[in-house]
Every structure is written in C-alpha cells, then in structure tokens.
Amino acid sequence: MTKTLPIGMFDSGVGGLTVLKALRTCLPCEDILYLGDTARLPYGTKSPETVTRYAVQASGRLVERGVKLLVVACNTASSVALEALREAYPGIPVVGVVEPGAQASCAASRTGTIAVIATESTIRGNAYQRAIHAIRPQARVIGRPCPLFVALAEEGWVDGELVEGVAARYLAPLFRLNPQSCQNPEDSTVSRVQPLQPLQPFLADEPDCLVLGCTHFPLLASAIRNVIGPDVAIVDSAETTASAVQAELAARGLLRTEAGCGTTRFLTTDDVPRFARTGSLFLGMPIAETDVELVDL
C-alpha cells in the first residue's frame, strides 16, 4: 500500500464533509476521495442490515479506485457496519466516528453523565453507549434521537427561532429546560419561542456533556448552544476522528509528509448541483459542480 494513495471516506450525504474539513486541517498533504450517497439518504432511518449493505457498496466504489484508508464519516454506518467493512476489505484500515467521539466525551465530562443526540438508528443501536462504557464503565449515557436536525442541516437552516424551537423540543427532557420556552416547533407559536434559560444552579444529575452523534449536527451547534446554555460541553467527533486517522496512518507508515497541498475529489450518487450547493455549507468553502462526479452504486 503506497503513501500516495488517497484517503477514502463516505457518508450518506454531505454531513461527512464536517469530518473532511477537519481532515483537511489536520492532514493538509493528503489526497482525499469523498463519496456522498445522497440517492439513499438518510441512513439513520434504515435497518442495520440495509445500512451495512449500503456501507459495503459505498466503500467498494472507493476501494476499486484505490485508497489507503477508509473513513466512515457517518455515525449510523459507524455504529453498525465497521466489522463488515473490515471483513469485506481486509488490509485496508477502517476508522469510524463513534469511538473518537466517545473518547472525546469521556475526557470532556466531569460528572460522567453524557447525553448523545443522533439519528434513530444510531441511538437504537446503542453504539455510543457501548463505546463510552468501554472507556468509562460508570458513565451514565442518555440517548436522544433528533431526526429533524438532519433535514434542517440539509436545507441550510442552521440558526434562528425555528431551529432553536426544534432543539428545545428535543433537548428539554435532557436538560430540564424552562418548559414555558419549549414551544412545539410544528405549531403556529414557533415565532414566539423565547431564548431558553437553563435551570440554575447546574443540576448534578443532568448531562454535563452533549455528543453531536451525527455529522450533520455540527452545523446546528450554535443554535444548540443557545438552547442548552454555556455550562454543557458540546463534543463534535470530527476533530477527534481526524486525529485518529492521523495516528492510524502514522502507525502504518502511510502518512504523506512532502510539501504541498493535498487534493480533494467528490463523488455523489444523485443531484450534482445540490451536492455542490449544500456541501459547500458543510465544508465551509465553495464546491464547484465540475469537481463532483456522479456515480451509481
């Protein structure tokens, strides 16, 4: 396996570009090949068997083009498909986003009470619970599915009263937020949602750490922070995943160290213009349609 091969990474859509952004910062010399399976998103509502099949197919397309490492930049796929990918593509290291996120949350939590918000499939599979308990057995882990966050991020609706209203609806049971502020985001009163005031003083049995267990969710981090207040640590696994990829490449002697900027290429399974437009929000820089290739899985 050569150092000059790219890192391959995939997600159900554009959410994994938050991980790519962190990789570009951490590993500027590396070439990266990113596949967004936008034709079949979201993965979070699919069965584990279906997600595993999709993950093997997406990874196969990357492997056939030549990659030195696979990054599963999707929490749902990371929670159910890592072993299947390692069996399907032996010899290629596979890094998911769940374990790095679990490590970061264990380091960030003072009390050991950790909340995880993610897709329905990730929460149902208890992937973060297992990963956190493997590191910190006495931790108390509370999972909460937040499926609407994916749609909001995909639409580029990442702040404002609507987003905070949805966040309040999801997070109020976890953080004992002021119930008068938690309007139903689907009704006509959403425009009157007021900024939330977390109860004070900080409650010992409340989570002191919130894991963004979906790569779409970092785009909503500011709105989530406005809802839960300043005292809760928010963990985004993107940077930790980038560090894990760097460590894995170094351990295998696969790091590129020569000067120069690495390249990034994009593959998508549906709607190139939408991928370029929405992906630019996640990556934090423009993606040209000419840099995106349509592929069929």
Active-site position among 26, 29, 74, 182: 74
pLDDT on residue 185: 40
Confidence of residue 204 (pLDDT cuts 50, 70, 90): low
pLDDT on residue 184: 43
pLDDT on residue 178: 58
- Nearest Cα neighbor of 9 from 290, 284, 283 is 283
Residue ranges for the binding site for substrate?
11-12, 43-44, 75-76, 215-216
DSSP 101-135: HHHHHHHH-SSSEEEEEE-HHHHHHTHHHHHHHHH
pLDDT surpasses 80 at 146: yes
Active-site position among 146, 182, 209, 214: 214
Residue the block writes with tokens 């979906």 = 214
In this predicted model, what pLDDT tens digit does every residue of 185-196 receive, in sequence order?
A: 443 333 333 444
In this predicted model, what pLDDT tens digit does every residue of 224-278 receive, in sequence order?
A: 999 999 999 999 988 889 999 999 999 999 999 877 789 999 999 999 999 999 9
pLDDT surpasses 80 at 64: yes
**Whether 26 is catalytic:** no
**Whether 74 is catalytic:** yes
Tokens of 230: 């300043």
- The mean pLDDT of 69-78, rounded to a whole number, is 95
* Separation of CA 21 from chain center: 12
Go through the domains of the chain in sequence order and give each one's CATH number.
Answer: 7-96+239-294 (3.40.50.1860), 99-180+201-237 (3.40.50.1860)
Looking at 16-25, 102-111, 252-261, 268-277, which range is the least confident one? 252-261
Distance CA 235, CA 218 (A): 9
